[in-house]
């Protein structure tokens, strides 16, 4: 399973820069809809596009591995 760690990266950005970054501001910087940013932050397993991941990484100054986390699904 791949999970999106958007809230953690927003916090890391704020700690690194000292700048408070809201979902609305992140949406403005990335060109994404605010609803999309909020969904990505609240639903960690949301299915998104690579273009969206690219925009978030650019805006947050992070790498893909910082934003996405992979853990194998457990066999049932």
> pLDDT per residue over 12-47, tens digit each?
999 999 999 999 999 999 999 999 999 999 997 789
What DSSP character marks residue 38? H
pTM: 0.88
For domain 2-70, give the CATH number: 1.10.260.40
C-alpha 46/C-alpha 35 separation (Å) is 13
pLDDT of 75 reads 58
Distance between CA 20 and CA 5 in Å, rounded? 17
């Amino acid at each position: 399973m791949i999970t999106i760690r958007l809230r953690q990266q927003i916090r890391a950005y704020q700690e690194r820069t000292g700048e408070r970054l809201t979902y609305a501001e992140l949406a403005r910087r990335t060109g994404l809809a605010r609803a999309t940013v909020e969904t990505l932050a609240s639903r960690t397993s949301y299915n998104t596009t690579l273009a969206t991941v690219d925009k978030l990484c650019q805006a947050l100054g992070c790498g893909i591995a910082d934003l996405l986390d992979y853990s194998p699904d457990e066999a049932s």
